[in-house]
A and B are shown apart, each in its own frame.
Chain A
Amino acid sequence: MTEERTVVLTIDGQEVRCPAGWTIYQAATAAGIHIPTFCNHPKLVPVGACRTCLVEVESMRGLQTSCTVPVRQGLVVRVHTSPAAVKARHAMIEFLLTNHPLDCPVCDKGGECVLQDQAMADGPGVSRYVEEKRHKSKRQPLGDRIVLDQERCVLCWRCIRFLDEWADDHQLDLFGRGAATRLDTFAGRPLLSQWQGNTIELCPVGALTSRAFRFEARVWELTNTPSVCTLCAVGCSTTIGVKNNVLRRITPRENMQVNDAWICDTGRFSHRLVDPEDRLTQPLVRREGRLEPVPWAGALDLVARRFAAVLQEKGPAAVGALGSARATNEANYLLQRFVRAAWSCNNIDHLGRVPVGAQPLHSLPDLEEKDLILLIDFDPSAEAPLVELWLKKAVLRHGAKVIVAHPMPIELARYGGPWLSLRPGSEGSLLQGLARAVLEGGLDPKAIRATNLEEFRTWVKEHTPDQIERTTGVPAGALVAAARLLVEAKRPAILYGRQVASPLPDSGTTAWDGLSAALANLAVLLGNAEIAFVAGECNTLGAREMGVVPGQLPGGQALGDGQVRSQLAGLWGGKLAAERGLDLEGMMAEAEAGHLHALWVLESNPSGGALPADALARVPFLVVSDQVATETTALAQVVLPVSTLAETDGTLINLTGRLLRLHEAKRPPAQVQPAWRLIAEVAQRMLEGKRRRAWEFGGAAGVFAEIAKVVPSWRGLTLDAIEEDGWQPRPGQAGQSQAARRAFVHVDLGQEAGR
């Protein structure tokens, strides 16, 4: 970025400084000078259609729309000091109101309506209109998410422009002409975009209303709390609106490091996921084969007693716990602390681990700077939707190209790069073939800073495009074209997701070891490429960072480091075992063999598909803490209800390693607590004296304060110091070790399905 030049201009006699390239509207607004507008929006390209922002500019004839005129040095602008401009703006509001229905008392937008506000601030106050108002379609469903009221529509195009400029999806347009102009979808088609919900906020009036929120509340009745969407790993900043302790509305909150100003419809309309109706509200204990409600104290005592008994009879190898990529850092941290300090074992893991050696995505806004993006078995639109918008921004505004290696022609396969339609399970071969094609594709060998280039050449020699076409089904021409784009790219990124990194059992996907080696080779080959793992769940990276893995302590510290262990032992009150514990697969094998006697599963549902259905059924004492009944709670001896993420104070780590803050946006059902508090209560029941006191926390902030002492990169951080747009550890601490690698590694594809 070049340094921006500053321009000085005068607005209403006030000297205003702003960067060159701004519009008069931006400069005035930033200086606190109000100018009304409908069509102008900071996230959209100006159209100058509503004429409500007219101002007088010295040296320019007539009035100018301030949203379209760029600032110039020495410009003299009159907004409120120009009688002509004031009259013109009054006139525009009067014009708009001539045909706008006065149904504010039943309009959802009432209370946050741009027209209401500006009619009061900038309108003439009375209307001279005595004619019949015109009638258009009302209560018209645009699809299953939005209802359109054409009479309220002020034809500002914001919704159309949003879908065009951001989603690149022209599903809305204006039809008809003049006074009969109306917003609509194309004949007979429902609005299907997964971004359409954003048009509801963009709408300055009540023309587009949310079918989920319609008539749920007046906006001033809502208690709004900043929050984070937990449906995928992006972690979009949201605002949760609650009335009478019921979640009514989820809206995006601007966060330029994460979601800009948008959220996908999955997140926006996830009320029943964020705030389920069929909640577990009481602890359940299995009696004579049936789960029955019991008082809290009894359930917690039972859990403490049974774990203590198993430990005493069978030893620490017979117990274990599964944390969760969908639970807070605080809960995950305390769970592993519980396992390590109270039980002195390391049998802790979770579903959907970050694969060994995978580098998380560095930054979302930086995706905009990439000139080529290769997606490997990763469909942003389904797995991390906001990534789709960042990539579309790179494509639409900077001309980036996208190569899609995916069995399906996904949404992002529209953009310039070839679609590599590989057969599922042949990713490794494809990468090998790609490496060879890149080598043959005119890459300057001198640019490759590797010690064993010639050796690598011989390794990939056999993977000719024709051979790859046979093994993967990707046409040779497409492969060569993709390689050419990779060679030409200056700032390429290669993204893969959990599909590649942690395949489901029997999915036939190439083993991670081989893929990781093949990806590493591409990194050496291309030198400048960011090769990044896109996490799958809202706290995938947090579970790892909290040490919810058998071989690693919080902050990625080595279990084998005696000094770290003894420090933690002091803090946690307990002796820590040095031996690596069982991972998920290991625990399941022990369960099958009848050696795993007690297991605590935190907020996850491994029996819902990830594990063979009866794997957990063989654990004699299974404790499951979750919000709703699942396949896993059905197998449990004890079920402990916990708060949802919307009812919990705490933190998550999103797909770029950004620490995001959760608040208690609504109260949990009576006596239900956040998971971290349950863990602490059970621990306190198992321990005594000083060890017991080590489990007293004032609240989530107390737990967080301890994590900040333990995780090196968080040192000094407090929960309240995390801004509402999150906190990013300094780069380097996450560790970008790829640059240092200078040798190609041999790839063993083993039993790849495609071969």
Chain B
Amino acid sequence: MDKKEAPVGEQPRVLLHNVGVPGSHEIDTYTGRGGYQAWEQALKQHQPAQIVEMVLESGLRGRGGAGFPTGRKWTFLPKGVHPRYLVCNADEGEPGTFKDRVLMEWDPHGVLEGIAISSYACEVEHAFIYLRGEYAQSFRRLQAAIDQASQRGYLGGNILESGYSLKISIVLGAGAYICGEETALLSSLEGARGHPKLKPPFPAVQGLYRKPTIVNNVETLFSVPFIVRNGAAWYRQWGTEKSPGPKLYCVSGHVARPGTYELPLGTHMRTLIEDVCGGPKDGVPLKAIIPGGSSTCALPADVAFRCSLDYESLEAAGTMLGSGAVIAVNERTCMVRLYQRIASFYAHESCGKCIPCREGTSWATQILARIESGQGRPEDVPLLLDICENITGRSFCPLGDALATPLSSSLRHFRDEYEFHIREKRCMPGAGGPQ
């Protein structure tokens, strides 16, 4: 990865402290910069329950998108049921998201240390990394790191004479977006078709191979060693009361300096876009901002600029922090075309299990394509809104909503653009023209 691809802001360097350091993926560099100390400390000084307690106190929330408190998830494991598994969700598939890749490529040992400590806390002896199949470099780096760490005795049997053993296996995904959903991920990990399963039972109670299983995002697990080493209070110096800690944001779209940045939760959107990312690209004003990946609702830029980047604030604005994938959309972009692209992604990635997602996303995509090609009908906008309403909350897993919610939001916020497109059979002036 060259320098251009790994731009790093000047904010707290916790999660990204190894990114950009030459040879950061090698174990010597990693240990030389304090790596695996938290792991030793955890094994020698803490009982598993104490670590769970620390993570609970830190207020760490899942970084995959849903923001569920990590420590609480861990407490759902039924007592005394073994074996149990921990799965690191590295399927990073949400359009606009590329933060986990940065961690896995630049700091694979950090990922392993996070998995190791969390596995120890959850009394897991076999952890899996379910890795997005296209992430070849992440795979090489992680596998090399597992080999190195095992050689040094950080992984394997009787780690550091503690009596605790841990094996970490990497399993490559086969390119399905649905496999980022935890139950579908587990099905896929078992070798079956990646389909979501009924909850309850939740994976923490009955997951992989019908055993208690914790599924956490890469960034979530990656945060754990810092909490163990420095304590919950230290961790809480960043962020808000309900959304504490540093967070990675991957910014893409029409900004001057897109990339992955580390900022505390609660940072103002304006700070991120204007100060950190250098403002809109080529000075073209922004029309909309998608704050957390394509499945979150786009906000008109002025509304977005009044928000701060944390779970509560964005929820209050009618959208979500999601995975922290901020996509900036400038005024030259046609919203119909944008949402036709997004819809076709969700139609393509629908797993096919339930009717509303399978049929609804594909129907919506057909209508959007028709509008885009100048064959829209006036009744198409209310029809699309109704299709979205019929998907929302009706589909088997949240993936149906992942299109329906943002699409219906865009139809409401940018209705004039859709209606113009239908009426005039072309993009609204200024939007979609040659850039």
Contacts and interface: CB of A to CB of B under 8 A. Distances in A.
B352 A177 contact: yes
Given A48-B198, A174-B352, A95 B363 contact: yes
Contacts, number: 89
B30 interface: no
B361 A178 contact: yes
Nearest to A88: B394
Interface in B332-366: 347-356, 358-363, 366
A217 interface: no
B362 A178 contact: yes
Most buried by A among B348, B350, B390: B390
A98 B359 contact: yes
Q: Which of A47, A51, A63, A177 is the most central at the interface, judged by chain B CB atoms within 10 Å of its CB? A: A177
A502 to B, nearest CB: 46
Q: Which of A50, A96, A128 has most chain B Cβ within 10 Å?
A: A128
B177 to A, nearest CB: 9
Contacts of A617: none
Contact of A92 (B348, B356, B362): B356
Interface string A83-98: 0000110011011101
B143 interface: no
B351 A177 contact: yes
B348 A51 contact: no
B367 interface: yes
B210 interface: no
A169 to B, nearest CB: 16
A54 interface: yes
B305 interface: no
A95 B370 contact: no
Interface in A378-413: none
Chain A, interface residues (CB within 8 Å), range? 35 or more
B152 interface: no
A181 B352 contact: yes
Interface string B366-390: 1100100000000000010000001
A107 B361 CA distance: 28
Contact of B363 (A98, A155, A174, A181): A98
B206 interface: no
Contacts of A98: 359, 363
B358 A179 contact: yes
B37 interface: no
Contacts of B362: 134, 178-179
Interface in A150-186: 154-155, 173-174, 176-181
A177 B363 contact: no
Given A51-B394, A88-B390, A128-B383, A179 B193 contact: no
A52 interface: yes
A177 B355 contact: no
Give the dominant DSSP class at A's interface: loop
A154 B354 CA distance: 10
A21 interface: no
B361 to A, nearest CB: 7
Contacts of B367: 131
B354 A50 contact: yes
Contacts of B383: 128
A49 interface: yes
Nearest to A45: B198
Interface string A36-55: 00000000001111111010
A95 B360 contact: yes
B395 A63 contact: no
A88 B390 CA distance: 6
Given A47-B198, A128-B383, A179 B354 contact: no
Contacts of A88: 390, 394
Contacts of A128: 383
B352 A48 contact: no
Given A51-B355, A68-B198, A180-B352, 13 more contacts: A50-B355, A52-B355, A62-B393, A63-B393, A91-B356, A95-B358, A131-B366, A155-B353, A155-B358, A174-B193, A174-B352, A177-B176, A177-B352
Interface of A: 46-52, 54, 62-63, 68, 87-88, 91-92, 94-96, 98-99, 128-129, 131-132, 134, 154-155, 173-174, 176-181
5 contacts: A54-B394, A63-B393, A173-B193, A174-B352, A178-B348
Closest 10 CB pairs of A and B: A181-B352, A91-B390, A178-B350, A95-B359, A179-B362, A131-B366, A62-B393, A95-B355, A49-B353, A92-B355
Interface of B: 176, 178, 193, 198, 347-356, 358-363, 366-367, 370, 383, 390, 393-396
